[in-house]
Structure formats: structure tokens, C-alpha cells
Structure 1
Amino acid sequence: MKKFSVVGAGTMGHGIAELAAIAGYDVWVNDVNDDILLNARNKIAWSLSKLRKEEALERIHFTTNQEEALKDADFMVEAVVEDLKVKSQVFSKASKLVSENAVLASNTSSIPISEIAKAVDKQERVVGMHFFNPPPLMPLVEIVKGEKTSEETVKVVGEVARKMGKETILVNKDIPGFLVTRIMFRINEVGCWLVDNKVADVKDVDYTAIQVLQFPMGVFLLQDYVGLDVSYLIQKALIERGFELYYCRAFEEKYNSKEFGMKSGKGFYTYDGKIIRPTLENARMVDPSLLVSSAINESYKLIRLGIVSREDVNKGCKLGLSWPKSPEDYLKEFGLSPVIRDLKMLYENTGLPHFIPDESLTRSYS
């Protein structure tokens, strides 16, 4: 493998390019204008200096010419906006320019790979390669098989990820949101339900998530960091593809008001260039088992359906979300009865059937 191409030089794209260069690949980075590319180059240079890997910058080429970036590439990672039309355009062009046996990977966190693959002729070489933010620091890559993804393609992606120093998990069935995003949005939906129904406020939810569940960035604070524009578009993409989810109105409100979180200076919290931590003053504890109940239910369902293994659920939550415990660990901590009670309460209040306790959950402690 000689040429590694990254399309999209934003937060994820430039981090992926940096990892590829450190791994020794000749990397080409493409985006729509020189300002974006210069910003990406500066961020990569800063990061490489911290890692004492400055020589890797010499292996990265920046260009606004997408054809130049893709021509004869052996491996492509697409990291553009979470929009099927835009992604499909990238893959359609790539399929005509890359080398004959090139792998075409998407960093999407929500859109099924099989939908993206329809833009190319050789769909067996299209795969999901989902990195986590920031890519140079987060240890996990989520590999997602589309309906026609070949085993050889999965093998190559695993090898590339390991060469980048990453652990991997495998999603066997191409479902919206895959594993880690689905689990995260199960936490989001309960937090949003609590806030929407005035059971708690944003600070209460984050205080409980950080202090009790020991999530490193809580719930709403994490979405501020991810970008509320991104969170809203992912939520929209998931629901449009049939993923049952309590709709978080707050994400839509923040999106429409252009309060995107840390990147815009204001989201659920206000920023001055630094990530903040919610103050403990006046924060109230919410039921921690309620906060994780939907995520626990989702994890057991995905395992039962053979979409992911139990080991990969544990690895995905710990390495992709930086949780100190797996959903199974939280179930053991809080007990089955409280979690079942919480799920039934959510179902009674929303009417959403995904809150009904999964059969594998109810028999797990029988």
C-alpha cells in the first residue's frame, strides 16, 4: 500500500491523516479550499510536535484537487459532512480514480455503509472505518460491514487500524449508528427526556453522569464538544433510517440557533476556548440507573441479534466512549429490577417500543 487518501480535512479528517502519516503511509488530504487545508496542516503540525513525530508531516500532501488526491490511491477514508448525498459523490468519484483493489472506507458514525456503497460498482471494497474524536488519542476504530463488504476488505482495514496503533471492534450487520453511536444516543435520549419533562436540568444530568457513572464528559457537555450541529444531523439521520429514538428537541433548537457548542462558543454551556466542567453548586442527583437503562437494553439487544459480540460491546463503551464500566457492569451495579422499572416507566411515558425490556435482558438474571 503506497497512497493513502483522506477526503475531508475537518476535525476527524486531519486526525486520521496524521495517524496514517505516523504509520508510514504517503498521505493525501483533500478539502474544498486552502483555508481549511492550512488550518488542518497547522493542527497536524502542532499535534505531531507534541508527539515528537514531526518527520511524519513530510509524508502529508494537501490539495483542493480531489482528483489529484484520489488518483491511484490504495486506501481512502472519507470524512466529510454526515450527509448521504455528499458522501455518495465522494465515493462515486473515488471508484473511478483509485487503484483497482483499493479499499474505500467511510468514517460515518450513523449512515449505513450499504447506502454509501450504492455509489460504486465494486461494493465489496466499501467499508465503515469509524474513528473517535480526537483520532490521534482515542484508541478505538469501529469496523462496519456493509451488505456486500468482503472479508478481505475487513481484514485489510483491521491491519491498517492496528498499524495506526488502534484497537478494533467489528459490527457484523449494517445498522444505523452501528454500536457506539447507538449506545451514546441511548444515553442522550434519556438525558433529553429528563430535561424536556423538567424532571432535571442539563447540569443535574451531567453532574450525575460525571460523579456517579464516571463518564469523563457527562452527557450534554460531551455533545457540546462533539458539536451540536453534528449531534443534530446524526440524530436526524438515525431516525430517518428507522432507528427508534426519543427525539431530543434541544438538539434541534441549538442547531437552529447556531449554538453548536464549544466550536461556536456556546451550546448547553458557554465557552471561552476551554472545555469546562459543570460546577457542583446547586446540581441535583438524578437516578443513575435510569440514565443508563436504555443503553443497557440496547447493548443486550445487539448481542442477542448477533450484530456485535459481548466483548466488543464492552470494548466499544470503554475505548470509544471512555466509560469506566460496560453496560453489563452497570447492570450488575444497579440491579436488574431497577433497570426494568426504569425502562417500563420510560415506555409508559413515551409509548416508544424500544424502551420495552429486551427478552435477553429479562432472562439474563433469571
Structure 2
Amino acid sequence: MSAVSTIHAATTSDAQPDLPEGTLDRVRRYRLERVRHMLRASGCPAIVLYDPVNIRYATDTSNMQIWSGRNPTRHVMVFAHGPVIGFEFHNCEHVWRGLPIEAEIRGATCWNYFNAGPHAAEKAREWAREIADLLRQHAPSDPRVAVDRLDPEGAYALREQGVEVLEGSGIMEQARSIKSADELLLIRASIDVCERGIRRMHDALEPGMTEQELWAHLHYENIRLGGEWIETRLLASGARTNPWMQECSGKPMRRGEIIAFDTDLVGPFGYCADISRTWTVGHVPPTDEQRRLYAAAYDQLHTNMALVRPGMSFREFADRSWAMPGPYVKNRYSCLAHGIGMVDEYPNIAYGVDFDHSGYDGHFESGMTLCIESYIGAEGGDEGVKLEQQVLLTDAGCQPLSTFEFETAWL
């Protein structure tokens, strides 16, 4: 069956944001063409997608995103010069209704152990035969297929069918890295919802409440306004802000402590708003040490935002980025900057000290959306400051997308 019709995004202020007519349809066409463009550029005839975010990008279908991320029970096959074929979870063909995408919908053959148990290998061979048959039908001269995620049993089964398996996650990361003007409307809508949640946290913050109670305000606004999920639980206070990457807890927050967070929020239309801010509990004036930490983080963030330009290599950006004082180097954040779209995306820019070991080179391009990162906390220090700004990279440099204010009175 095919799923071909038009969806209208009529909303109110208390539901998903309004969009200009036709925005979603244009976004869907753009994204699918980006996937096909990257397939053609890679010389690959087709790709099989299991990652729910990649499926959403290519088809705008969503079905139990978190659950299906753990349980590979639905997948999509996209041909560079051919059809889109959706393999849907049990009795869920209806999730394709209302989408302006020409697609053949089939039931998915599930061969993960949860679904297939001791018959997993047998089911994987059944799945592989179907993929191989489609390749012979739509790309008869090229028995290769890219896959974004694939357990070993599936790779073995495809090889038995004479199909060469190619790495597909890079194809999708590159496809997703350049945003259309219509995508930016969706990203801004998600950021708006996220910043309403941040405002709610800001206004609700008071001594004695737990970290989890404060974090719940962000979830509330996101779900209320049509958002989807939050990828992490990165909110911490006091001594739990140093080192960073401690998930929120039932710890009561004390007046004057630092409280810092990283939203990682997947909002309306499936786009991520990734913003970090730092306050004091009770919004009281900071101590001198808190001011020093904040000033360093603010300086790092804005120095690096002013530096990045289209055409600059990742290595050059790393080498020329803000020089971090020695006491803060050990606890530095995992990257200087990263791409952002539906979730964290290519590229991921390593610090200069990490580049030879864990970095990779490439070039910034106009149309990328990025998150510029900072974490400042001394090794063995009492607290730390986390700041992050989401930006659009234009020919003129970084244009902020997130607008929630910084604590400039602390500087």
C-alpha cells in the first residue's frame, strides 16, 4: 500500500507551534532528497535504516522512538534511484498515513532475540532474502547495501545472499548536516518550547527543592507543547557540578549553590534543542569563585563562537580556539562543538589536546547548525559552570538560535 496525502499543521499556542503552510511537506521532500543525494555521491544504490532518528529524517514517520531504538522492529529501505519501502512493526501501517511520501509499506521481519528467540538466525535469513530480492529488482547490477545499524546475525545473512554490506551511518550523518530554511523553522520551534521550559525552571527554582523536581518542569513544558523526549538527565547542583556529567538526583538544592543543566531536548517535529545555562539556587549573587568560573566559561563560549567560519577546518578551529587555563584542562568538556539537528550530529570537534587521539578533520559549511560548548571546573574544585549555545553557521559566522539570557551581571 502507499501512503500519499497532505498533512496540515494547524495548531494553537498550547499545542505544537504554527508553521507556514506547506513547511512540513517541503522539509520532508528536502530530507529525502538529501538522503538520495548522499547515496548517489557515495556510489551506493540503497540504504537500510534502523536508527529511529534516521527513519524520522528520511520519512518523517515516528513509532515508539525510544523503544524501537532498543528493539530493531521497524526499518526503511531507501534507493538512490528507486522506491522508499517501509517495513513497519506489527499492525502499525497507520503511522504512515497523512504523509506526502510515495512508499510501499510491508510488515517488518523481526529477528532480534526478544521477538525471535531461538529462531533469530532463521528470521535474519528471511529478512536478508527480502533485502536481496529488492536489490535485484531495483539495482540489479550492484549487490551492495548500506546499513546504519546492523547486528552480526543480519550481516552474516546478507553475505549469504551475496550482498555486500556498507557502512551507512556516515551517509546519514552527512545528509543531516546541512539544514534547509524550512528545517530552521522547525528547529526554532523546538528551541522556543525548550526555552519556555527553561523559563519555567528559572522561575520555579528555590532552595529545598530537589534536582529532579526542577528537571521535571522542563519535561512538563516539552510534552505539553508537543515535544517528544529528553535524551539525558544532566542537571546538577553544588558539588555535583564538578566534575560534569552527573545525572540529576533527589538531592535537595541549597541556597547559593551553583545549579547547571544541559537540555538535550527533542521537541516538536523531532528536532533537538541543546542549551546549557548556569544559575545560583535562589538566584542570589554569586561568590567571587562562582564569578570567576562563570566568566571563564562565558569567555570560552563567545570566543569560539566568534572564531568559527564556513570553510574553516576542524583542526584549525581546535588549534585556534580559546586557550583553557591549566587548572580547568583535566575536567574539560568532551568536545569544543558539535552538530545538532534531530539529535547531536556530525561534526564532533575535539579539543586540540585530544585531536590526534580522538579528533577528525573536515570543514565547517554554511547551513550547519552547531552547539558551541563550555564547561569550566577545576580539578578537585568545589563547583563548575556549564554553558552551551545553539547557533546557525552562515557565511557571516555564527548566528545564535538559542536566546535565553546569560548571567551577564556576574561578569
Same fold (TM over 0.5): no
TM range (shorter): 0.3 to 0.5
Provide TM-score, normalisation by structure 1: 0.34
Looking at CA atoms only, which structure, 1 or 2, has the larger radius of gyration?
2
Give the number of the structure whose residues are more often strand, by fraction: 2
Give the number of the structure whose residues are more often helix, by fraction: 1
Provide TM-score, normalisation by structure 2: 0.31
